[in-house]
Structure 1
């Protein structure tokens, strides 16, 4: 649980920093453009190729840690804990494999963009370093899926919250017929 809490804190801090820096950058850009007719060079490209990918990509493993991904649990909720745990372990394993595939493909793309020295279109702002965030995020996500597998196998409960160690609560209330 400490590992998950540490990863959650790191992801939250990095995402918050990226969001705050992006907002300050955009506000400074607008103020400089309005008052001094001197906008910050490449603001649109920096926002589109640096800040937004950071915020979006770091949110994926953070959502997994906090059990905030959308799931369709209509069938799983009707199963016994053992059967539900089996299907969850299968889903986590498949998700880990897909994440590793995305990481591998993303790493190849990042290397290709690094070799090309890719930039943000018509500007000379470099963008290739951001491409390395894709494999990093998906490796972290694969590790989180593996941790989910281990926790599910140890507890037999497929709905353990990795941050608190307790059964995860869902927003939808069950209705008894």
Structure 2
């Protein structure tokens, strides 16, 4: 196993920042659950749906996912299937770990770049939702933030893998 005390990915600042994002993500989850519960309750008990609840749920979902992804990647909480690890050996695992993260960094960079352009367009044209007139640009901004931080976490993991080698067991 890797010595996590010497990994860049476990710096106090990064731990703090990702912890804060995780808390904000949990708040978004709470808002999503409360909105969904009261939306269903009001619709079926009082026959009075909450107008704009779908917009709140959609935007809370963006916040939830994009702020939770960097922390999940940092803690390596994603589902991993290691069926071929025994066959490809340590060298194959090392190459696979680097390659998977490099491809992910590239895709997240493209996503960030496109979301940044959409955010600027949404700001310029003052795009907003139909029911609640919520502006789109802050949510594109959160998409950019989450993607960039996720890519940064993966880049730090690549540096750690190169420095320490592939993990022997997980």
TM-score, normalized by length of structure 2? 0.76
TM-score, normalized by length of structure 1? 0.74
Report matched runs for 1:130-169 at 5 Å.
Answer: 130-158=139-167, 169=170
Q: Which runs of 5+ in 1 are unaligned?
A: 160-166, 170-177
Q: Which runs of 5+ in 2 are unaligned?
A: 1-9
Where is the helix percentage greater, Structure 1 or Structure 2?
A: 2
Measured after TM superposition, the shift of residue 102 of structure 1 is: 0.9
Measured after TM superposition, the shift of residue 13 of structure 1 is: 0.5
Aligned to 2:27: 17
Task: Determine whether 1:104 maps to 2:132.
Answer: no
Asked whether the 8 Å contact 2:74–2:153 carries over to 1, the reply is yes
Asked whether the 8 Å contact 1:88–1:158 carries over to 2, the reply is no
- How many angstroms apart in 1 are the aligned matches of 2:96 and 2:54? 44
- How many angstroms apart in 2 are the aligned matches of 1:79 and 1:36? 60
- How many angstroms apart in 2 are the aligned matches of 1:89 and 1:55? 27
Report matched runs for 1:49-60 at 5 Å.
Answer: 50-60=59-69
Residues 117-126 or 38-47, more deviating: 38-47
Residues 120-129 or 149-158, more deviating: 120-129
Higher relative contact order (CA 8 A, sep 6+): 2
Q: 1:75 to 1:42 in 2, by over 3 A?
A: same
Measured after TM superposition, the shift of residue 138 of structure 1 is: 0.9
